[in-house]
Amino acid sequence: MVTPVRVVIALCLVAPFVAMLWVSSYAKVDPAFIGIPFFYWYQMLWVLISTVLTMIAYKLWQRDQRGRKARADLLKEGASR
């Protein structure tokens, strides 16, 4: 079932792939950051961004699963009455 939370989770997980596979967007030297060409520091920045996005996706997934379990427990309890 597609829910808004699951769409956000998917976007969090897909964004780093799109950013890294779109090589022409970062295949350049300038602007350099503390002497490091853009090509390298952009990729290193995405390592950190990917970590944060994966953590957000994981937390959202946990919350979604807890909600699904709670709804299933309520339905099960209601059916047993």
Domain count, the chain: 1
* Residues in Cβ contact with 15 at an 8 Å cutoff, skipping those fewer than 6 apart: 49, 53
Query: What residue numbers bound the domain in which 44 lies?
Result: 1-14+36-67
Residue 47 confidence (pLDDT) above 70: yes
Residue linked to tokens 């090589």: 23
In a domain, 4, yes or no: yes
- C-alpha pair distances (Å), 10 with each of 20, 38, 45, 50: 16, 27, 20, 13
Q: How confident is the model at residue 71 (pLDDT cuts 50, 70, 90)?
A: confident
Mapping DSSP to helix (H, G, I), strand (E, B) and coil, where does residue 48 land? Answer: helix
DSSP percent split of the chain into helix, strand, coil, nearest 5 = 80, 0, 20
Residue 81 confidence (pLDDT) above 80: no
Q: What is the pLDDT of residue 2?
A: 86
